[in-house]
């Protein structure tokens, strides 16, 4: 069956989610940024629940374990307020405590800049004090990278996104590689996978540099390298990303996102 | 208890230019927009904004050049996109910015609420928010375990402004049974020095006292309370009205182009209406009210 790249990214993300885990989904602005930050993670969480991880739950907006089967038709304020869920904290203090106490297993993060060691920038392009482009700030992304065991990065592969060094470290991945992250006093976590529209990366267990894990079907290595400003580690044989099954596609199209809210662009 | 009832004009007159002001709400929801519009009408300048994410309020104040400095976690308009006025202000070097992660900024307000001068955090270790802000993020070591932390200073502000659902005249502020509390309003209130609360509706005291478990900001924290229906418009107020999508899209259309927001949007919706009721007459038709009201 034909599938879209978004559907492939949903399936690849879902594959990383384990039964019984708790995931943190952040907020996205509009358009593609929303699809990457919210749409794909939400669809992946629901697909995981429907398939191999029925007890996977999420925290999103102010909702702990919202009923994903009862996802509202729109994501405006009123629908968020009344989305059936297990828990709506009385303020963000509770969410922040859950974060820094380490109660989340995975998070889903994207950024306009990411470097070889998985450091992320969502704050400023250029000089911080007088930037070429001012971005949104930090949100809880630094907290995800500091306190969550396996942050999953979801972003499109672009030369201007995958840079040798981010202009500003909003969120610490593996910092300068090796054990530099732990030396700063951070827990030995760090980004788990990078799921893009062309390929999937992980991080080398020794030097912590980004390395190619698999190429999506019909994508060449050359195409990947052409869309990056640094050279990742490349294994001798590169597997192909497992494509979605017919059943997974059916679930995404008919059950999970029939109104095209999550995977619009 | 004494009555804290006042009006927008009188409350805003208390705030001198150059003040630091913490603004409530989050992302888009329940920001004190009517209060902000009155601040702009009264020409407040050189403000320091302390926020959790108060994107729309910050963007509006930035659009008239009223902002000197922002300390916050996020400034954007959620599904409506970037906050262009704010962005231009930072890019031009007019707005000084200090970014904090959500848990770090939360701890800053928590410190202010506790009455201590700082709290520790681990969320800024290794980040450029720490490296480029040595005045506010300092390395410390736990005297018990030797672990590395940063100390972040209490987020004290001269004024705090929150928009909420209901209150009595004494400033006992209540939330409804259903609400979206994805914000720090409860903590901001505790952290405040001078707290002004605008509410959708002032209710009789006797409606409060038999449900005092719903009071999330008590009267002793509040300096002034003001009834401002649709006080968060065009942002949403959970359980009262949704975001005004058409209005916010128009806002963004104007703010994307340098100059257009100030010459067009700000004239139409901030300067020409002399007060909040005139704003409502201009911004809301009966049809629009039906459309955004929560049923």
pLDDT in tens, chain A (265 residues): 799 999 999 999 999 999 999 999 987 777 898 899 999 999 999 999 999 999 999 999 889 999 988 888 877 888 888 999 999 998 999 999 999 999 999 999 999 999 999 999 999 999 999 999 999 999 999 999 999 999 999 999 999 999 999 999 999 999 999 999 999 999 999 999 999 999 999 999 999 999 999 999 999 999 999 999 999 999 999 999 999 999 999 999 999 999 888 998 8
User: Across the interface, do A62 and B181 touch by the CB < 8 Å criterion?
Assistant: yes
Q: What is the pLDDT of residue A105?
A: 98
For residue B177, give the 3-state DSSP assignment.
Answer: coil
A 201-260 → B contacts, CB under 8 A: none
Query: How far, rounded to the nearest angstrom, does the alpha carbon of residue B56 sit from its chain's CA centroid?
Result: 9
CB A139 within 8 A of CB B53: yes
Mutation target to probe the A interface, by most A beta carbons within 10 A, among B68, B69, B74 is B74
Q: What is the pLDDT of residue B79?
A: 84
Q: What is the pLDDT of residue A134?
A: 97
Q: Is A99 exposed, middle or buried (0-12, 13-18, 19+ CB in 10 A)?
A: buried
* CA of B104 vs chain A CAs: smallest distance (Å): 9
Q: Is a pLDDT exceeding 80 seen at residue B284?
A: yes
* A256 DSSP 8-state letter: I
Gap between the Cα atoms of B263 and B278, Å rounded:
19
For residue B33, give the 3-state DSSP assignment.
Answer: helix
Q: Which domains does chain B have, with CATH numbers?
A: 8-98+156-292 (3.40.1080.10), 118-153 (no CATH)
Q: Give ipTM to 2 decimals.
A: 0.95
CB B3 within 8 A of CB B170: yes
Those residues whose C-beta lies under 8 Å from the C-beta of residue A47, and which sit 6 or more positions away, are A10, A11, A14, A248, A251, A252, A256
pTM above 0.90, yes or no: yes
Rg, chain A, Cα only: 18
Classify strands B148-153 and B118-121 as parallel, antiparallel or unpaired.
antiparallel
Instruction: Give the mean model confidence (pLDDT) for residues B130-159.
Output: 98
Gap between the Cα atoms of A51 and A17, Å rounded:
11
Give pLDDT tens digits for B105-127.
999 999 999 999 999 999 999 99
Instruction: Give the mean model confidence (pLDDT) for residues B58-75.
Output: 97
Is domain A5-256 given the CATH code 1.10.490.130 in the classification?
no
User: Across the interface, do A81 and B132 touch by the CB < 8 Å criterion?
Assistant: no
For residue A249, give the 3-state DSSP assignment.
Answer: helix
* CA of A138 vs chain B CAs: smallest distance (Å): 5
CA angle B11–A92–A66, rounded 5-degree value? 125
CA–CA distances in Å: residue B66 to residues A190, B38, B197:
40, 12, 21
């Amino acid at each position: 069956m034909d599938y879209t790249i978004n559907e492939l990214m949903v399936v690849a993300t879902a594959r990383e989610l384990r039964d019984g885990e708790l995931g943190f989904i952040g907020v996205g602005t509009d358009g593609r940024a929303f699809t990457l930050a919210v749409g794909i993670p939400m669809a992946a969480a629901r697909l995981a629940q429907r398939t191999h991880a029925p007890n996977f739950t999420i925290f999103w907006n102010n909702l702990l374990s919202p009923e994903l089967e009862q996802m509202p038709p729109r994501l405006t304020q009123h629908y968020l307020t009344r989305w059936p869920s297990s828990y709506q904290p009385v303020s963000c203090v509770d969410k922040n405590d859950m974060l820094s106490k380490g109660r989340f297993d995975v998070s889903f993060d994207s950024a306009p800049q990411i470097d070889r060691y998985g450091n992320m920038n969502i704050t400023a392009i250029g000089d911080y004090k007088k930037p070429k482009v001012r971005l949104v700030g930090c949100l809880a992304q630094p907290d995800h990278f500091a306190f969550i065991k396996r942050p999953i990065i979801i972003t499109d592969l672009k030369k201007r996104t995958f840079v040798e060094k981010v202009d500003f470290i909003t969120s610490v991945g593996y910092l300068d590689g090796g054990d530099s992250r732990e030396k700063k006093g951070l827990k030995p976590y760090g980004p788990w996978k990078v799921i893009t529209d062309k390929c999937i990366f992980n991080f080398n267990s020794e030097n912590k540099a980004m390395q190619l894990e698999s190429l999506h079907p019909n994508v060449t290595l050359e195409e990947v390298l052409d869309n990056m400003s640094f050279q990742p580690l490349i294994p001798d044989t590169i597997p192909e990303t497992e494509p979605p099954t017919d059943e997974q596609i059916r679930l995404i199209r008919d059950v999970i996102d029939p109104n095209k809210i999550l995977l619009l662009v | 208890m004494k009555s804290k009832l006042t009006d927008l004009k009188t409350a805003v007159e208390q705030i001198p230019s150059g003040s630091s002001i913490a603004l409530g709400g989050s992302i888009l929801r329940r920001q004190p927009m009517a209060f902000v519009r009155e601040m702009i009408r009264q020409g407040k300048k050189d403000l320091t904004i302390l926020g959790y994410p108060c994107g729309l309020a910050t963007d509006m104040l930035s659009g008239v050049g009223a902002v000197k400095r922002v300390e916050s976690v996020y400034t954007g308009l959620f599904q409506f996109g970037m906050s262009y006025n704010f962005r231009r202000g930072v890019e031009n070097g007019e707005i000084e910015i200090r970014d904090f992660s959500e848990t770090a900024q939360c701890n800053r307000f928590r410190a202010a609420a506790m009455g201590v001068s700082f709290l520790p955090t681990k969320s800024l270790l290794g980040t450029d928010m720490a490296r480029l802000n040595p005045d506010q993020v300092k390395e410390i070591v736990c005297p018990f375990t030797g672990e590395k932390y940063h100390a972040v200073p209490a987020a004290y502000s001269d004024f705090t402004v929150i928009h909420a659902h209901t209150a009595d005249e004494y400033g006992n502020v209540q939330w409804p049974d259903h609400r979206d509390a994805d914000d720090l309003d409860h903590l901001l209130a505790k952290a405040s020095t001078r707290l002004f609360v605008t509410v959708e509706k002032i209710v009789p005291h006797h409606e409060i006292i038999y449900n005092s478990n719903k009071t999330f900001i008590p009267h002793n924290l509040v300096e002034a309370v003001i009834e401002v229906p649709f006080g968060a418009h065009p942002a949403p107020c959970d359980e009262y009205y949704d975001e005004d999508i058409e209005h916010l899209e128009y806002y963004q259309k104007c703010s994307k182009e340098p100059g257009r927001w100030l010459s067009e949007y700000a004239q139409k919706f901030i300067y020409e209406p002399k007060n909040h009721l005139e704003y409502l007459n201009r911004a809301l038709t009966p049809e629009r009210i039906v459309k955004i009201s929560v049923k």
